[in-house]
Structure 1
Amino acid sequence: MGGGMNELGNKIKLWRNYRHLTLEQLNALTGIHYARLSKFERGVEIPNQQMLERIEIALDVKFDDLKIVDEEIEALIFDFIDTLFYMRMNFDYFIDIINEKREVYMINQNYYKINLIEYIISVLKSEIEVSNKLEKTLNSTVEPNTLYQQLYLEYKAVKMHSLRHFNEAFVYAEKALSISNYNKNTAMINFHYSLLHHDCGQYEDARKYLMQAKQMFLDGCSYKRAINCDIQMANIYTRIGCYKKAIELQIACLEVFHYMEVNDSMRALTLRNTAWVHILMTEYEKSLKILDEAEILEPKNGNLILYKIWCYYSLGRYDDARKIIDDNQYLHDVSIYKDRFKLFEYLVINGNQKPSKKLINKAKEVYENLAEKEVYENMYFYLDILIDLLDRAGDKDELIHYLKIKGHLGK
């Protein structure tokens, strides 16, 4: 994991450049010929103690002292790996340390490890421009076949996944897994690899990698991550139609949360996921009861709002659905929700009347957009909405077309 045989040479070159000196200028300050200084920097020759002291005086540095910074950076990145593994996610702590000591870290040969920490944080915070800029540096500085390359490839995969560039994400994830030799990192790669398979509708592979990740998290006493695996496993059961198993697992997770320090966001997410399964089972009253609990924790969540509108609409409680729509008009301007929100608005306005052409066209648009982006977790649900509308409208040709699609999808 270290810098190999030429650590001293790298440090001489790094500090010479930091002091804005050419080899000829360092020659003038030390009396050591520039050709020989070049050999020192390239690791071809090692300076004796007397020469080393002259170089240190000229550069105003003690190379032995730099080992302390090397060790400090190494400790920081391993602490960061633990933060990811144990799901502490206290990123501000690392950002504060880096900003406070950046001047010291910048003139260290292991500064790329600091860049790597910043890169991973930028990916997890969806700061795409920041991550793009850091990649330009990391592409040429991360040593191949090391723990640090594993981390870099893993989070390049995470970034590509978030951008829905699935093919690229798979390439990076597979490469990271092939060279991974550190258990904590392997566990995280398996976890992210599972999420990638999941979003591509490859549920058996998602389940396999998730089970491997969970066992590694348990072996490393990362119980938050293990519970997170259970939450994801419940999502897989939901996708394959094993609704009772999904609910059992989600209820078990909610019970465990009573004995574990878990933030409101994770509790709310698990409640919403449970409510979603009840929606798929057409148990709308049960879903609404659970959504009320989730709403206390995260009142303005877009999915929660959509779920409540759908439940009220399905129960024929159109006034309640209209009130939620009126109270949340801002969703018309939120890109990830606006089309579905508009569709639900049309559904509620239409009520139990024969579906209008405008309503059917909106349902087609929502489904086609989801299908184009391969958003499997939503596209089947909205395909069923479209099929129901076409059936109620008596549009047999279009109905047959979309029923064939549903059959082709194996739904």
Structure 2
Amino acid sequence: MSVIPYGRQDISEADIAAVVDVLRSDYLTQGPLVPRFEHEVAAFVGAKHAVAVNSATSALHVACLALGLGPGDWLWTSPVTFVASANCALYCGAQVDFVDIDPRTYNMSASALEQKLLRAETEGRLPKIVVPVHLCGQPCDMAAIHALSKRFGFSIVEDASHAVGGRYRGLPIGNCQYSDVTIFSFHPVKIITTAEGGMAMTNDDGLANRMRLFRSHGITRDVEQMTQVPDGPWYYQQIELGYNYRMTELQAALGLSQMSRLGPFVERRHHLARRYDEKLAALPLILPWQHPDSYSGLHLYVVRVPGDATRSHREVFASLREQGIGVNLHYIPVHTQPYYRNFGFKDGDFPEAEAYYAEAISLPMYATLSEEQQDTVVAALVKALG
């Protein structure tokens, strides 16, 4: 039985040729294609700077480092995300807390954030960084979160790992109008891929320079950044404790080739989402809700099996898997992970996130999903629901 996965990359002959060209070139890493890829993405989203790295996790880490996150500081994010959105704070020696989600968008609730900030202000433990996560590709209420950042003095790193190609209030996600840094992921199941890879967008020259420094061992060849006079043209200095987070030329070549199809990829996802909306409308499910201010990247299409359904969430999920539908669940709330329970988090801390987890199923959603395959998914879901 062939399985229809929840996500899948689309690799064309042009993509393959672009990578082969790099293999035949003089540069496999640190060549001209990474800067070209950075320029292409920055131009597409309308940001001043793009810093390409080997994963979105690395991008989150260098963003936090560049913003000066460290011991004694707090980072807040959504509990419904991949663990990297929280782990990046721990890498910096900081502490993590969470803000519950909006029950309709599944993104960080701006109202819950405001209430938590008011409490934290009285306790003297306001966050240094807040990481809103654009779950499924739908942007958070960034205008409201940005207004709160001005009021309470925190920086914003948008985790837009799901959202490249989407828009917020008519403008491309990634332009950093409402944030200090925006992060994209190019993992194979994302909207475009570089196999593994990520990118940090910013309009701040200083942040861009620091993120570039941290991605490459903290080493600079820029005389203006050096603390002493160079010995000669070969000279470099390590001025920070950095990491080897560089993107290769192979990855950049694939990303550049994929960028030419980003618009069609997202349009296709929207077409498939509309078909899901129509075909699932009569089923006992909670379908995704899209905020009118947003145009989602639609990385994921998540349905919820309500607690009063004839068959349980677990039964529906298992039935779909048994029928060859590779559904998944995005995500197990981070605060319930064993590692995070060690920090004192417990069940009941973030009820909306936990309610979402008890009901959510990610259905197959990718640009090459055929309508015939989608109809198979729908038929399997009808059967699974009994």
Whichever structure has more strand as a proportion of its residues is: 2
Alignment TM-score, normalising by the size of structure 2? 0.26
Whichever structure has more helix as a proportion of its residues is: 1
With a CA cutoff of 8 Å and minimum separation of 6, indicate the structure with the bigger relative contact order.
2
Alignment TM-score, normalising by the size of structure 1? 0.25
